[in-house]
Amino acid sequence: MTRPPLLRIENLSLAFGSHPAVKDLSFSVERGETVALVGESGSGKSATALAILRLIEREGGRIAQGRILLHGTPQLDLAALSDRQMREVRGNRVSMVFQEPMTALNPVLTLGEQVAEVIRLHQGLDRRSALSAAQEAFEKVRIPEAARRLRQYPHELSGGLRQRVMIAAALACRPDLLIADEPTTALDVTNQVEILALIRSLQAETGMSVLFITHDMGVVAELADRVVVLANGEKQEEGPVHDVFARPAAPYTQRLMAATPKLGSGAPKALKRADPVLEVTDLAVRFGVGGGLLPQSGQTYHAVNGVSLRIERGETLGLVGESGCGKSTLARAVLRLVEPAEGRIRLAGEDITALSAADLRAHRRHAQIVFQDPFASLNPRLPVHKLITEPALIHGRTTAAESRNLAADLLAQVGLPQDALDRFPHQFSGGQRQRLCIARALSAGPDLIVADEAVSALDVSVARQVTDLMARLQAETGVSFLFISHDIAVVERVSHRIAVMHGGQIVETGPTAEVLSRPVHPYTRKLLAAVPVPDPARRGTAIDALGMEIARPRLLLPAGELPQRFETVEISTGHFVAVDGIGEKLATLAGRTNRFPTSSDANDGVRQRAHEGAQSGARDKERQGT
Report if residue 15 sits inside a domain.
Answer: no
Task: Look at residue 124 in the predicted model and tell me its pLDDT.
Answer: 85
Domain count, the chain: 1
Report if residue 470 sits inside a domain.
Answer: no
**How do beta strands 575-578 and 568-572 pair?**
antiparallel
Under a CB-based contact definition with an 8 Å cutoff, are residues 280 and 509 in contact?
A: no
| Angle subtended by helix axes 460-477 and 430-442, to nearest 10 | 20
Q: Does residue 405 carry a pLDDT above 50?
A: yes
Q: How confident is the model at residue 447 (pLDDT cuts 50, 70, 90)?
A: very high
Cα–Cα–Cα angle for 149, 153, 156, rounded to 5 degrees? 80
Q: How confident is the model at residue 94 (pLDDT cuts 50, 70, 90)?
A: very high
Q: Using DSSP, state whether 171 is helix, strand or coil.
A: helix
Report if residue 130 sits inside a domain.
Answer: yes
Q: Using DSSP, state whether 15 is helix, strand or coil.
A: strand
Neighbours of 401 (CB within 10 A): 7
d(CA 138, CA 102): 17
Task: Look at residue 159 in the predicted model and tell me its pLDDT.
Answer: 67
Mean per-residue pLDDT for 109-131? 91
Neighbours of 241 (CB within 10 A): 20
Task: Look at residue 293 in the predicted model and tell me its pLDDT.
Answer: 44
More confident call, 75 vs 80: 80
Q: Does residue 38 carry a pLDDT above 60?
A: yes
Q: Using DSSP, state whether 305 is helix, strand or coil.
A: strand
Task: Look at residue 546 in the predicted model and tell me its pLDDT.
Answer: 66
Q: Does residue 591 carry a pLDDT above 50?
A: no
Q: Does residue 439 carry a pLDDT above 70?
A: yes
Mean per-residue pLDDT for 24-51? 92
Q: How confident is the model at residue 291 (pLDDT cuts 50, 70, 90)?
A: low
Neighbours of 20 (CB within 10 A): 16
d(CA 151, CA 118): 16
Report if residue 148 sits inside a domain.
Answer: yes
Report if residue 122 sits inside a domain.
Answer: yes
Mean per-residue pLDDT for 541-547? 70
Task: Look at residue 495 in the predicted model and tell me its pLDDT.
Answer: 96
Q: Which of 142-151, 277-286, 298-307, 570-579 has the highest mean pLDDT?
A: 277-286
Q: Does residue 589 carry a pLDDT above 60?
A: no
Nearest to 555 by CA among 321, 201, 300, 317: 300
Neighbours of 349 (CB within 10 A): 11
State pTM to two decimals.
0.78
Report if residue 236 sits inside a domain.
Answer: no
Q: Which of 50-64, 363-377, 552-566, 584-598 has the highest mean pLDDT?
A: 50-64
d(CA 580, CA 545): 23
Task: Look at residue 603 in the predicted model and tell me its pLDDT.
Answer: 46
**In terms of DSSP H, where are the helices of 325-366?**
327-334, 357-363
pLDDT digits (tens, 9 = 90+) for 205-260: 888 999 999 888 888 999 999 999 999 899 999 999 999 999 999 999 998 888 88
Residues 6+ apart with CB under 8 A from 434: 370, 374, 454, 455, 458, 466
Report if residue 111 sits inside a domain.
Answer: yes
Under a CB-based contact definition with an 8 Å cutoff, are residues 383 and 422 in contact?
A: yes
Q: How confident is the model at residue 35 (pLDDT cuts 50, 70, 90)?
A: very high
d(CA 557, CA 291): 12
Q: Does residue 590 carry a pLDDT above 50?
A: no
Task: Look at residue 263 in the predicted model and tell me its pLDDT.
Answer: 86
Q: How confident is the model at residue 352 (pLDDT cuts 50, 70, 90)?
A: very high
- Average pLDDT over all residues of the chain: 85
d(CA 356, CA 362): 10
Report if residue 68 sits inside a domain.
Answer: no
Neighbours of 242 (CB within 10 A): 17
d(CA 243, CA 93): 31
Q: Using DSSP, state whether 493 is helix, strand or coil.
A: helix
Q: Does residue 113 carry a pLDDT above 60?
A: yes
Q: Which one-letter amino acid corresponds to residue 476?
A: E
d(CA 196, CA 539): 12
111: containing domain: 101-174
Under a CB-based contact definition with an 8 Å cutoff, are residues 99 and 185 in contact?
A: yes
Nearest to 103 by CA among 48, 162, 37, 147: 162
d(CA 354, CA 345): 9
More confident call, 324 vs 107: 107
Q: What percent of the chain has pLDDT over 70?
A: 90
Give Cα 100 to chain centroid, integer Å. Answer: 11
